[in-house]
Structure 1
Amino acid sequence: MNTSPRQKILIVDDEPDIRELLEITLGRMKLETFSARNLGEAQALLQREHFDLCLTDMRLPDGTGLELVQHIQQRDPHLPVAMITAYGSLETAINALKAGAFDFLTKPVELPRLRELVSSALRLPTAGGLSTAIERRLLGDSPPMANLRRQIDKLARSQAPVYISGESGSGKELVARLIHEQGPRASQPFVPVNCGAIPSELMESEFFGHRKGSFTGAVEDKPGLFQAAHGGTLFLDEVADLPLSMQVKLLRAIQEKAVRSVGGQQETVVDVRILCATHKDLEAEVSAERFRQDLYYRLNVIELRVPSLRERRDDIEALAMHVLKRLAKDTGQPEARLHPQALEALKNYRFPGNVRELENVLERAHTLCENRTIEAQDLRLSEGNCTADGAMADLTQVDNLEDYLESVERKLILQALEETRWNRTAAAQRLSLSFRSMRYRLKKLGLD
């Protein structure tokens, strides 16, 4: 006989019919319900009882559901709260998600969607294991990383769309995976897709699938990325690279929570959480009319910025030790030692490619070094990317200042172009240059 206590749900709504509908539905799910008609009654119940989930209407006689979300965030931030809003009140729902709500329902309440939301919320990991799991995967004790871990911990307990911003190589996909793995969808698929790597003519088929015979080469039915991610998370990396025509279709899929395959007659309901990332400035892309503003607002409910390696230099030693241990394990060789001068050189380097570049530098040095000791010269760091407190240029090698500066400029521009796969607009943004200035410099240096 199962004697485990039933999970408790707090229902907050001033409409008796809604309360009764929720009580009956949740009762059939073997859940114990408590009801409140207003904000005051809800706060009183929260003081007396421990709850596993709170469902609250947005409009209450003595306040708003948003106030209740904020009240719970201050006192019990690990209690999931779902907001019930009037149909079409998307802005209200987004404000609730930003305030910390787990998810939202629209009236009239669809019972399958209600049961799905409740089941998902009750699968959230307990508070204790979250931060520890994130710490094991996201190395570094610097303040920016401590802040990032706290934000991941919070966002993992939500269903809000998250826009992950940061430079190339900073670890945006790892952050997305952690949000997924620490949330209620962890047992379901995590589907990453590089939006810039899909040919434009195949995008609709890749995202939404196709039916047999819908175009030349469609020899069988094929599900798309949305269908593959059903129940889990779809991570759209480099989302700014989507063409405008595809942005329209993506927006509709997110709004309707349904997709139609190429050549299909009916829509398929999909339940996915959308996480996206790009190294570009998405707001600037909107201003330049290369990215739809309405899609931007749907994707950028909450922005999570991943710090560059330059912003957390104190973590370089720990990251380097971790990489060297992994390399030793992978190659079956003794672990290489990092000479103090080599460590100092790493700390004084700008790392335009961030953690990914650090890994590549150490992998190369691990292969080249002698006596299992990595010297500074084994790192082969670009002098043009040393910081102001790094090594100064050797004046004996500078015959002409203009020529020397031009060579440094050429090296940095080429590096930016390589990092952005020769996307001139992205390279200009990477160097904080206007596109016109970038074009002038390319022509001046003979790189046009």
Structure 2
Amino acid sequence: MKKILLIEDDLSYQKLIKSFLTKQSFQVFSCEQKKEAFKWLEQEKIDLVITDYWLPDGTGLDILKQIKISYPALKVIFISNYSEVRIAVKAMKVGAFEYITKPINPDELLQTIKQALNTKEESSAQSQELTFVVGKSQSFKKIFKHVELVAPTDLSVLLIGETGTGKEYLARKIHALSNRGSGPFVAVDCGAISSDLSSSEFFGHVKGAFTGAVGDKTGYLEFANGGTLFLDEIGNLQPEIQSKLLRALQERSVKKVGSNQEVPLDIRIIAATNEDLENQQQSNFRLDLYHRINEFRIDVPPLRDRKEDIALFTEHFLQQSNVQFNKSVEGLSEQVARVFFQHTWQGNLRELKNILRRAVLLAEASKITEDLLPADFLKSPKTMDESPNNLSDYSITDVGSFKEHTEILEEKLISEALELFRHNKSKAAAHLGIDRKTLYLKMKKFGIN
């Protein structure tokens, strides 16, 4: 009997899920807090963790990060409200097996659990589901030309774009088309590495270098020798690691923690971020390292800015889901196609994939209809180009809640202020009556570059 740890502070929801999984012959342990979760992990040989995001003493993301360090082979399924889709996408980047949105569909939950328990631990390079799909939009065609142009070189590439836009897949394509294609591709999520272990993870260590170093360890840089090191969310690197990484790239060698011996390096760096690393007021990233990794920059637009690609990726994800669930869904109804075209897609391709995967699982006919989509998805704000042009045009029926109305107005006002003052953030902030820090936080929240 497989053992599942369920972390959910909503006791009625916890009881409902626990009852369902117990009937499916799983042994379920449940708790409401982060500290209780790790007691269960120490006491029982847990096969799978299911965690909500908001907890009384922390978040599910905190739990996920610690599990990736202490129990790296343990799969974690993330539960979130649809409004938290960007958090869920972040959880996927940290290492969650999958995320499911509330209200949870029992069949979807059971299917995801079975997949998690039956999936062998794979390397990052092997675990990718997506084949590379070239979009039809002019912006993406231009990006792909840049990929083909830079791939045969050894230039460091910086990919800039929102979470879920496909930056890692572009990095893999660059690697595959390069002279290093037969070498290793090592993908590292810089935001998921503990500050205490970061030096060891990146540069390796020798036995006895510190308490707990019971043997030699090869770091990411050395492991990528002869190939490509992909540094995702590179803006999250601690200043100490930034300094050591810069030196390693300049010297083309790496020194393990606790060793005086230099190991030669032959690697190519591809980095990705959704931050403005060059802006020192917004980022603590070293400018010398920024220029080192930014030998060739590729800006990856969000899905809402390349709507011509929505149909293409929809067809791709439908085919994948049909194979996965042994279904034969042919496409979208006209109403759903219209909703997809107008949606903001804050989670970009990851969000699109999960919406379609859920819909295909629930589908009993040949078309995806609106009743197969999450209620929160249908209530989500329209894209900016579909939004009213001025405040008097807003209607209470446009979006579902006061909070959603407020966020639409905030995003619109900030975008207009930035455009009015030609992206001078000090003047835009003064015009809006807020300080620069608040403006930066709002820009980050709404994905405004």
**Structure 1 runs (4+) greater than 4 angstroms displaced:** 388-398, 410-413, 437-441
Pick from 325, 333, 336 the counterpart of residue 327 of structure 2: 333
Deviation of the 1:331 alpha carbon: 1.4
Pick from 342, 347, 360 the counterpart of residue 354 of structure 2: 360
For 1:90, the equivalent position in structure 2 comes to: none
Q: Which runs of 5+ in 2 are unaligned?
A: 1-129, 411-433, 444-449
For 1:207, the equivalent position in structure 2 comes to: 202
Query: What amino acid is the match of 2:327?
Result: Q
Deviation of the 1:437 alpha carbon: 4.7
Distance in 2, matches of 1:404 and 1:385, equals 10
Deviations 1:111-159 (A, max 9, x none): xxxxxxxxxxxxxxxxxxxxxxxx9723321101110110000011110
Question: Within the alignment, does 1:387 sit opposite 2:383 as a pair?
Answer: yes
CA contact (8 A) 2:157 2:270 kept: yes
CA contact (8 A) 1:384 1:412 kept: no
Distance in 1, matches of 2:276 and 2:195, equals 22
Pick from 429, 437, 445 the counterpart of residue 435 of structure 1: 437
Deviation of the 1:387 alpha carbon: 2.3
CA contact (8 A) 1:345 1:390 kept: no
Question: Cα gap change, 1:312/1:220 in structure 2, threshold over 3 Å: closer, same or farther?
Answer: same
Distance in 1, matches of 2:295 and 2:435, equals 28
Question: Within the alignment, does 1:179 sit opposite 2:174 as a pair?
Answer: yes
For 1:141, the equivalent position in structure 2 comes to: 136
Matches within 5 A, 1:392-407: 405-407=402-404
Distance in 2, matches of 1:211 and 1:233, equals 24
CA contact (8 A) 2:185 2:229 kept: yes
SS of structure 2 residue aligned to 1:200: coil
Q: Which has the larger radius of gyration?
A: 1
Deviation of the 1:207 alpha carbon: 0.6
Question: Cα gap change, 1:196/1:335 in structure 2, threshold over 3 Å: closer, same or farther?
Answer: same
Pick from 151, 159, 184 the counterpart of residue 156 of structure 1: 151
Question: Within the alignment, does 1:269 sit opposite 2:264 as a pair?
Answer: yes
Deviation of the 1:237 alpha carbon: 0.4
Deviations 1:221-275 (A, max 9, x none): 1110011100000001000000111110010000001001011121111100011
Deviations 1:376-413 (A, max 9, x none): 34233253431256598995769xx9x95444336999
For 1:349, the equivalent position in structure 2 comes to: 343
CA contact (8 A) 1:336 1:366 kept: no
| Larger mean Cα displacement after TM superposition, 338-347 or 251-260 | 338-347
Pick from 211, 214, 223 the counterpart of residue 219 of structure 1: 214
Matches within 5 A, 1:49-448: 137-284=132-279, 286-288=280-282, 290-380=284-374, 381-387=377-383, 390=386, 405-409=402-406, 434-437=436-439
Distance in 2, matches of 1:197 and 1:168, equals 15
Identity of aligned residues (%): 38
Query: What amino acid is the match of 1:163?
Result: L
CA contact (8 A) 1:166 1:305 kept: yes
Distance in 2, matches of 1:278 and 1:168, equals 8
Distance in 1, matches of 2:284 and 2:358, equals 38
Distance in 2, matches of 1:209 and 1:228, equals 9
For 2:16, the equivalent position in structure 1 comes to: none
Q: Which runs of 5+ in 1 are unaligned?
A: 1-134, 414-431, 442-448
Distance in 2, matches of 1:438 and 1:276, equals 22
Distance in 2, matches of 1:160 and 1:236, equals 15
Deviation of the 1:312 alpha carbon: 1.0
Deviations 1:304-358 (A, max 9, x none): 1112111210111111011001101111222343112111110111111111111
CA contact (8 A) 1:328 1:336 kept: no
SS of structure 2 residue aligned to 1:274: strand
Question: Cα gap change, 1:249/1:386 in structure 2, threshold over 3 Å: closer, same or farther?
Answer: same
Question: Cα gap change, 1:357/1:265 in structure 2, threshold over 3 Å: closer, same or farther?
Answer: same
**TM-score of the pair, normalised by structure 2:** 0.59
Pairs aligned (count): 287
Query: What amino acid is the match of 1:280?
Result: E
